């Protein structure tokens, strides 16, 4: 049959028929081998493909602690060195993750060890000084560098920064040069002014239309910060090629600042506002939006980041190690009854 087809096809040249037929047989044989290999060979996927289709349904997120201020704390707190607001723990748990506290003032080997066993790290809000040695910023710098290394090796590992954590991502993205400027955006709820790239960002591309509508038209994002990241400083210190700016806001003086951003290369995300406060913080001194739409929008960010953590397949080396590392081993202190409290509950640590 094949010879008949080839002979018919080349009948216009009897002289070249044997040569051309031989070449066509060879070419046809090559094509047949390629077709068979497509059906008979195993399908190979990249690490990214595997991460997309295979999720870890027992994600554990590490939350970095931060130093207690030296002054203005109750005398009985003097024995404690660091803390984590319980609202961040509840926030991650609300989206289906468990939490492991990560301590400040540790060695790089400590951070490599713990990060090889958790599925992402959250940098929380606060008011630490990034220039203080062996504290929040130094620990964050090691975590940031280790997370980049994981991702470059094909091990998906996300980072999230809220308010101070957002500012830390900017600081580290600028190679520890301060890209922030003073601003006035404290105790105010704002809507987001989305930039054109929001539709292709990982943070918002899959967000339901209702969430985008709420965020862009209602004052539901909770702002408590006195430093801001401007578009100009991103260009100057961080590089537009490295970071995608997704939304902007204006402070009380009309200064435009970045309110959400993500790395273009790594699964690193930051928001200048506080989603967790709408759900878990109740200080009457804070003008926190608690309405249904504010809570709905806030929950979206927790769900997004925890789902990113599900793409990481790190795990604890033993069940015993996992149980001993979880934050369930600690009891939060109820601080909401204090006159000038800022968080309903705090986890306090002696290291």
Distance CA 332, CA 338 (A): 15
Q: Which of 183, 225, 228, 274 is catalytic?
A: 274
Helix ranges restricted to H, 130-192: 136-152, 164-173
Backbone angles phi, psi at 245, to 5 degrees: -85, 130
Query: Which of 163, 225, 228, 314 is the catalytic position?
Result: 163
Q: Structure tokens of 299?
A: 């929950």
Instruction: Please say whether the beta carbons of 84 and 47 come within 8 A.
Output: no
Residue 306: closest CA among 122, 30, 51, 115: 122
Per DSSP, the three-state class of 323 is helix
Decide if 225 is catalytic. no
**Could you give the dihedral angle defined by the CA atoms of residues 284, 286, 287 and 291, in that order, rounded to the nearest 10 degrees?**
-70
45 is catalytic: no
Helix axes 2-9 and 17-40, enclosed angle (nearest 10):
130
What span, in angstroms and rounded, lies between the C-alpha atoms of 307 and 324?
Answer: 24
User: Which residues are catalytic, by number?
Assistant: 163, 274
């Amino acid at each position: 049959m094949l010879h008949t087809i080839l002979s018919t096809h080349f009948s216009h040249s009897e002289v070249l028929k044997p040569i051309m037929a031989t070449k066509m047989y060879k070419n046809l044989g090559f094509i047949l081998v390629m077709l068979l290999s497509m059906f008979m060979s195993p399908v190979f996927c990249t690490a990214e493909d595997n991460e997309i289709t295979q999720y870890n349904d027992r994600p554990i997120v590490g939350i970095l602690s931060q130093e207690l201020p030296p002054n203005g704390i109750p005398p009985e707190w003097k024995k404690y060195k660091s803390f984590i607001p319980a609202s961040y723990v509840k926030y991650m748990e609300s989206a289906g993750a468990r939490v492991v506290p990560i301590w400040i003032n540790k060695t790089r080997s400590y951070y490599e060890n713990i990060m090889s066993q958790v599925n992402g790290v959250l940098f929380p809000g606060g008011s630490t000084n990034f220039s203080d040695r062996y504290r929040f910023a130094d620990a964050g710098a090691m975590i940031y560098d280790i997370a980049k290394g994981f991702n470059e090796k094909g091990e998906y590992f996300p980072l999230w920064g809220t308010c101070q954590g957002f500012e830390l991502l900017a600081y580290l993205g600028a190679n520890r040069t301060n890209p922030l400027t003073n601003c006035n955006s404290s105790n105010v709820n704002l809507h987001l002014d989305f930039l054109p790239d929001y539709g292709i960002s990982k943070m918002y591309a899959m967000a339901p239309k209702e969430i985008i509508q709420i965020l862009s038209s209602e004052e539901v994002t909770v702002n408590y910060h006195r430093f801001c990241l401007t578009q100009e400083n991103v260009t100057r210190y961080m590089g537009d090629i490295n970071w995608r700016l997704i939304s902007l806001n204006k402070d009380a003086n009309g200064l435009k600042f970045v309110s959400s951003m993500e790395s273009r290369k790594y699964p690193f995300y930051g928001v200048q506002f506080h989603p967790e406060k709408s759900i878990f913080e109740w200080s009457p001194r804070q003008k926190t939006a608690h309405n249904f739409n504010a809570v709905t929008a806030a929950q979206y960010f927790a769900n997004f980041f925890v789902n990113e953590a599900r793409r990481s397949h790190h795990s604890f080396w033993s069940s015993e190690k996992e149980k001993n590392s979880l934050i369930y081993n600690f009891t939060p202190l109820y601080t909401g009854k204090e006159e000038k409290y800022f968080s309903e509950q705090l986890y306090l640590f002696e290291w």
